[in-house]
Structure 1
Amino acid sequence: MTILNARNLSLEEVQRLFGFQEQYSDSFSHYLSLEPLPEAEQQELLQIRNDFRRYLTAGKVSEGQAKFLVVAPLLRLAGFYRYPIEILLEENIADIEVEDEDIKIKVRFDILAISKAKQTKPQIYFWVLLIESKNSQIDISAGLPQLLTYAYKNLDNQKSVWGLTTNGRSYQFVYLDQGDILIYYLLPELNFMERERSNQLLQVLKGICQI
């Protein structure tokens, strides 16, 4: 049996192995209810941007720094730290065996948000959001193969799931839907350093949290 690491897979390989098809969607409102942000939350976003900008100006921001400086505060603002949501961090390594091929893929997630109030099967909780993060100098598309590979493992338990790849500055949301075929929809990329886009980013995260 061939053993692969999801980090080393290309997007083309992931599409072939799991049968994913890629499509684009130009609007978050097709999937989520986006509510206006209170002024206090907009001010918090401004502070997070200013703090992160200082690190970007100094040079490369590591994956860990991006998660600590931006992703974690955004998740807190969006409500992901409150019950019934629970955050899991890089503590689950899984093996995926590819049907009809003698291949096993090892995968590890960065951040997973689950709902403790909703089970899809006994002892399996509903996945709210799966996040794959990179350092500030890596294009966010580099995280897509890992994200899709891990999300694929859970599509037997629920029909759809949200994913997010980010390098702290740019954010690419992905909506995975299992119908007759597996489709992942790429939503518009959001630049956190732009005021309107950062506001929309928080709106989207809040919308996903309320699913």
Structure 2
Amino acid sequence: MTQSIQAKTLTLRDVKTKFNCQLAEEEQFFREWIDGLPEITDEEKRYLDKVKAGYANSADYPMIEDTVKMVVLAPLLFLADLYLNPFHIEAEKSVELVTVDENILVRGSIDVLLLIESFWVVAIEAKRSQYSVEAGLPQLLFYMLNDPSPDRPTFGLLTNGSNFRFIKVIKQDTPQYALSYEFVIDRANDFYEVFRILKRLAGIISSNTSDT
């Protein structure tokens, strides 16, 4: 009998054991978030600065539903041209997170978005900011490992609105994954780097898509 797996119940250990997925140890495995990043224009910097200011303003008030996507993620994807062909957005899944923090029941959610084949985004939303980006890693790995393109690398982005990590998965032979450093929206030029990496990965995926 085929075992049914619910993504919302998965832990990172579950993903590693059920899919034999391993953390890549080679430094060269995921160089796409480091090498060949595009330059950023002054106009793009001004736009990103405005997004950062909007996030800072929103963070002063109680979080509302869809704050992550509306305030930070949506304008970031827009600036990176990820609403244009060949990309499009499909809302794949929404997973609820429930924890107890200081005797307060805290509810959040993980929204999984598919931008194009082989490019996933996970947005973590919470009423309070205790959910790290790693909270969505098991679910993101699950969807990336089930991507129907085993011959090409799959890329993803984890964000809770303030923190960002990129991920790469290769499914050939033994599935492997690697993560970028964690970027923080209000730390130095981190948000600029997030945008540059996003553009770089979008260019790689767009090129891979046109070659098929």
Give the TM-score of the pair, scaled to structure 2. Answer: 0.77
- Aligned 1:121-160 pairs, distance under 5 A: 126-127=117-118, 129-135=119-125, 136-154=129-147, 156-160=149-153
Q: 1:69 to 1:176 in 2, by over 3 A?
A: same
> 1:191 corresponds to which residue?
184
Number of residue-to-residue matches in the alignment: 184
Supply the AA of the counterpart residue of 1:78: A
Listed one character per residue, the Cα deviations across residues 58-114 of structure 1 (whole Å, up to 9, x for unaligned) are 24x35611011111110111110111211212379xxxxxxxxxxxxxxx9621111
Aligned match of 2:155 in 137, 159, 162?
Answer: 162
- Rounded to whole Å, the distance in 1 between the matches of 2:68 and 2:187 is 16
Q: 1:5 to 1:151 in 2, by over 3 A?
A: same
- Rounded to whole Å, the distance in 2 between the matches of 1:159 and 1:206 is 18
SS in structure 1 at match of 2:154: strand
* Larger strand percent: 1
Q: 1:25 to 1:165 in 2, by over 3 A?
A: farther
Q: Could you list the runs of 5+ residues in structure 1 that have no partner in the other structure?
A: 93-107, 115-125
- Rounded to whole Å, the distance in 1 between the matches of 2:64 and 2:137 is 18
Matched, 1:16 2:9: no
Q: CA RMSD in A?
A: 2.6
Asked if 2 retains the 8 angstrom alpha-carbon contact of 1:134 and 1:167, the reply is yes
Q: 1:72 to 1:28 in 2, by over 3 A?
A: farther
- Deviation of 1:4 after TM superposition, in Å, equals 3.5
> 1:57 corresponds to which residue?
60
Q: 1:182 to 1:157 in 2, by over 3 A?
A: closer
> 2:69 corresponds to which residue?
67
